[in-house]
Amino acid sequence: MNIKSTPVLVSKVSRWLFYRDDLVPGSTYAARVRSKPHQDSHLSGGYSEWSSAVNWTIPEGDEAQPKNLRCLFNGLDRLNCSWEVRRELPGSVSFALFYKISPESVETQCFPVEEKELPDAPHVLQRCEIRVTNPKRLSQYLITVRPQEEEKMIAPVSNIKVEPPYELSVTKLKNQLYKLQWKCMKTMFPRMYQVLYWEADKVPEKNHLQNISEDVSQFTFQSLEPGTHYKAKMRTKAHTGAYDGPWSEWSKECEWVTESGHSEKKEVGDWNSLSGVLPLLFRPLSFWRRWDSGAAKDTYSERKGNGRKTFRDLLAHFCTQVILRLGSYKR
């Protein structure tokens, strides 16, 4: 730890005031006093022993303010000044050094301000060099560091940030299509939307980001994988010639699971099987119709009277069994 001491010479007083600008916030100070006879008292002698020390600590100041302003004169024509600021600040606040040659002169800003990293410190060092035209008046210089004022014109209609959509829901349509619906706060201007959807067990990807340029309240998902868990979220912004602004925050996520598609494929397969069997059934029926139109009527009548089953009876029974079995398979 470096300990620096500064002597102060006073006379005919019993107190001394320390100004805030002379002390560093967060630092601890110690002071002690000694005395000797004043030269006008007609007494002489050396200094007394030092008094016991008194200690005090300066409270921490505003961390956003510059600290440790120092200026060193090169003895010729340059006054090099440096100060420290929190390393988080230069990206958003610009600090500048201002000086006056005398209290009555016009304040001048120092250019340029250079910046240097301090190793293992929460601050960065900034510095600026002042050209001295009259070294004899150097003691009258007034130097300050403060945030540089910047002006920026902001058009409210071009900086509108709206609330995100809410109450997102997904409804299943036909042919593995799914409809996303949402609600938004009413506004006096059109807006556009972005929909981001992804499989729940994967990281969202940019290629699943859909832009919707129309002011609508629904969107249809296509080509989703069957039997898959999906998530989606949305954001919106003003979208017209007169109004503009940044994207809103993302909405709350909604989730849904697509159907596996097994039932639809099975149903198609059942009807395909049935369509293959039916022509085989109609062939013997058409043959029987031709055969039954002739002399077979007499044979049928005779066998019916004897209680024997005819070919038509057997065929009808066979068709009934086939249809019943197909029906149970479809279920």
Residue pLDDT, tens place only, 235-251: 999 987 788 899 999 99
pLDDT at 193: 95
The pLDDT, as a whole number, for residue 326 is 57
**pLDDT band of 57, cuts 50, 70, 90:** confident
193 burial level (CB within 10 Å; 0-12, 13-18, 19+): buried
Does this model's pTM top 0.85? My answer is: no
194 pLDDT exceeds 80?
yes
Q: Which run of H or of E encompasses 324?
A: helix 311-330
Question: Residues 110-132: what's their mean pLDDT?
Answer: 91
Q: How far is CA 43 from CA 35, 38, 39, 47, 50, in A?
A: 13, 7, 7, 12, 20
More confident: 283 or 157: 157
Q: How many residues does the chain have?
A: 331
- Give the C-alpha separation, 133 to 167, whole Å: 70
Q: What is the mean pLDDT of residues 94-122?
A: 91
What pLDDT is stored for residue 184 in this prediction? 92
Buried/exposed code over 31-55 (b: 16+ C-beta within 10 A; e: otherwise): eeeeeeeeeeeeeeeeeeeeeeeee
Q: What is the pLDDT of the chain when averaged over all its residues?
A: 80
For residue 100, pLDDT over 80 is answered with yes
| Mean local confidence (pLDDT), 79-92 | 88
**Amino acid 129: pLDDT:** 96
Amino acid at 269: G
DSSP designation for 109 = E
Is the Cβ–Cβ distance between 75 and 104 less than 8 Å? no
DSSP 164-214: PPEEEEEEE-STT-EEEEEE----SS-EEEEEEEEETTS---GGGEEEE-S
What's the pLDDT score for residue 288? 44
Extract the tokens encoding 120. Answer: 């293992």
Q: Over range 205-222, report the average pLDDT.
A: 88
Report the pLDDT value the prediction gives residue 265, as an integer from 0 to 100: 46
Please, are residues 147 and 113 in contact by the beta-carbon 8 Å criterion?
A: no
> What are the phi and psi torsion angles at 66 (to 5°)?
-60, 155
Backbone φ and ψ of 111, nearest 5°: -130, 150
